[in-house]
Amino acid sequence: MSRHKKERKILENITVETFAAEGRSLARIDGKAIFVPHTIPGDIVDILVTKNKSSYMEGTVYRMIQASPDRITPLCSHYGECGGCKWQSVPYEMQLRFKHRQVIDS
């Protein structure tokens, strides 16, 4: 019996709600969390689901529908490639608020 590669699901017109840990952001689909890197709150994206567990999903941006009004152009020309500058797409003040929230939550 041959194995067929699972077709990956694309979720359309998903609004990113908030930041999450490890440089990812969080959206919810029917109450289920989905974590997506390289997004910020307010982005509206189509998401390619890469992992679908019972309590959460992970995905990547398949298509940017509408960028958040808070999004800025990263200063680093390698943004998105090396992984070292995950927060450069948001203003520094917003980065500080999120990092402060992470410390409080921890």
The answer to whether residue 3 sits within a structural domain is no
Q: What is the pLDDT of residue 103?
A: 87
- Residue 14 Cα distances to 27, 41, 81, angstroms: 7, 11, 24
Task: Identify whether 2 is part of a domain.
Answer: no
The residue with greater pLDDT, 57 or 85, is: 57
In a domain, 19, yes or no: yes
Q: Are 72 and 87 in contact (CB under 8 A)?
A: no
The answer to whether residue 70 sits within a structural domain is yes
d(CA 49, CA 60): 7
- When divided into structural domains, the chain yields a total of 1
5 band by pLDDT with thresholds 50, 70 and 90: low
Residue 4 lies in a domain: no
> Does residue 73 lie in a domain region?
yes
The mean predicted confidence, pLDDT, of the chain is 88
Expressed as residue numbers, the domain containing 82 is 10-105
pTM: 0.84
30 vs 84: CA distance, rounded Å: 32
Contact call for residues 15 and 36 (beta carbons, < 8 A): no
Taking the C-alpha atoms of residue 45 and residue 61, their distance in angstroms, rounded to an integer, is 6
In a domain, residue 99? The reply is yes
For residue 1, tell me if it sits in a domain: no
Strand partners, 58: 35, 51
Token representation of residue 29? 């689909």
CATH number of residue 49's parent domain: 2.40.50.140
